[in-house]
């Protein structure tokens, strides 16, 4: 069952560990259309896939779930057997109870502000390896572009640039909770600037806490002051040239335009 937008809790109902919503959607579609072909399309299955589902379930039930009749005075088509109807009725009852249970528990979680905030921050699904939760500490709105600084709990700050329209759409303001998303491939690691200054707005110093070497590239994790972990993906040659090892100091450098900001409206 797909949770409603904003829900903190989700769960899938299965009977006997294998009969799920897809199977019962097929039964309902057969009941409504009287045709396996049309029911398969309604349930988002292929004709062959629909029959495989019905036949495998019927083998375990020991009795057919559908009956087919050729056209005639009474009309042809496919119909549910009495056993299939009882199974479908049981599913509808259980599904309603399951949905009510999830809503009740979701309301209970929503009544716990600290836990609610944690779960909502963790609910975002994104390919960005680095996701940091913080609050807006600075906001500069220009005619076209905006600069937003997000303060992390450990004291570090991440600055992002975006259009002013985007900042207004997100309703950003000082103190508002926000997430900073940074792809690992956008992060450059620096161990020694040799006295040079860098133009990148974000330069976060940390300590190498983990290195995972692959066939071509390495995943390097820096632990920042305060405990936040920042991940960079660099080539193996670069990792060797920098002499990276666990415990060595390094800085994660990335442009402000490489930061994506997320905020709840």
Question: pLDDT tens digit string along 142-173?
Answer: 999 999 999 988 889 999 999 999 999 999 99
C-beta atoms surrounding 33 within 10 Å: 16
Question: pLDDT tens digit string along 174-230?
Answer: 999 898 999 999 999 999 999 999 999 999 999 999 999 999 999 999 999 888 899
Question: pLDDT tens digit string along 88-132?
Answer: 999 999 989 988 888 887 777 767 666 555 555 555 566 788 988
Query: What's the mean pLDDT in 75-81?
Result: 77
* Separation CA 254–CA 231 (nearest Å): 12
More confident residue, 183 or 9: 183
Query: What's the mean pLDDT in 241-262?
Result: 94
Question: What would the CATH number be for the domain defined by 130-262?
Answer: 2.40.50.100
Instruction: Match 């988002």 to its residue by tokens.
Output: 44
Query: Measured on CA atoms in the order 127, 129, 135, 137, is the torsion positive or negative?
Result: negative
* Separation CA 26–CA 37 (nearest Å): 11
Q: Return the pLDDT at 155.
A: 86
Stated pTM of the model: 0.58
Q: What are phi and psi of 254, to 5 degrees?
A: -155, 150
Whole-number average pLDDT of the chain: 85
Could you give the count of Cα atoms lying within 13 Å of 242 in the half-sphere of its Cβ? 24
Question: pLDDT tens digit string along 20-74?
Answer: 888 899 999 999 999 989 999 988 889 888 888 888 887 777 778 888 766 544 4
Number of H helices, E strands in the chain: 7, 12
Q: CATH number of the domain at 21-113, out of 1.10.760.10, 2.60.40.10, 1.10.10.10, 4.10.640.10?
A: 1.10.10.10
DSSP bridge partners of 79 = 67
DSSP label at residue 81:
-
Which strands make up the sheet holding 177-182, listed edge to edge?
157-163, 145-151, 130-141, 177-182, 259-262
| Domains 21-113 and 130-262 equal at CATH topology level | no
Q: Return the pLDDT at 73.
A: 45
Q: Is the pLDDT of residue 1 over 60?
A: no
Burial 185-223 (b: 16+ CB within 10 A, else e): ebbbbbeeeeeeeeebbbebebebeeeeeeeebbbbbbe
Q: If pLDDT is split at 50, 70 and 90, which confidence band does 75 have?
A: very low
* Separation CA 265–CA 262 (nearest Å): 9
Query: Where are the chain's structural domains?
Result: 21-113, 130-262
Distances (CA, A) of 64 to 77, 79, 89, 91: 15, 11, 17, 18
């Amino acid at each position: 069952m797909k949770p409603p937008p904003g829900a903190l809790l989700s769960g899938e109902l299965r009977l006997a560990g294998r009969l799920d919503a897809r199977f019962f959607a097929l039964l309902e579609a057969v009941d409504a259309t009287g045709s396996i072909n049309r029911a398969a399309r309604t349930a988002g299955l292929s004709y062959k896939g629909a029959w495989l589902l019905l036949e495998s379930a019927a083998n375990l039930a020991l009795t057919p779930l559908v009956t087919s009749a050729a056209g005639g005075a009474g009309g042809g088509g496919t119909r549910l057997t009495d056993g299939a109807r009882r199974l479908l009725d049981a599913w509808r009852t259980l599904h309603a109870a399951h949905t009510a249970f999830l809503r009740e528990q979701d309301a209970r979680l929503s009544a716990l502000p600290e836990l609610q905030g944690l779960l909502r921050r963790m609910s975002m699904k994104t390919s960005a390896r680095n996701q940091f939760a913080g609050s807006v500490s600075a906001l500069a709105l220009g005619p076209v572009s905006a600069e937003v600084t997000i303060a992390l709990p450990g004291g570090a700050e991440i600055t992002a640039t975006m259009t002013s329209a985007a900042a207004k759409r997100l309703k950003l303001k000082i103190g508002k909770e926000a997430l900073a998303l940074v792809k690992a491939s956008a992060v450059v690691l620096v161990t020694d600037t040799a006295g040079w200054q860098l133009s990148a707005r974000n330069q976060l110093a940390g300590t190498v806490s983990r290195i995972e070497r692959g066939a071509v590239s390495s995943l390097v994790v820096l632990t920042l002051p305060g405990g936040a972990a920042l991940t960079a993906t660099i080539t193996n040659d670069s990792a060797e040239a920098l002499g990276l090892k666990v415990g060595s100091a390094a800085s994660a450098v990335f442009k402000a335009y490489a930061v994506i900001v997320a905020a709840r409206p």
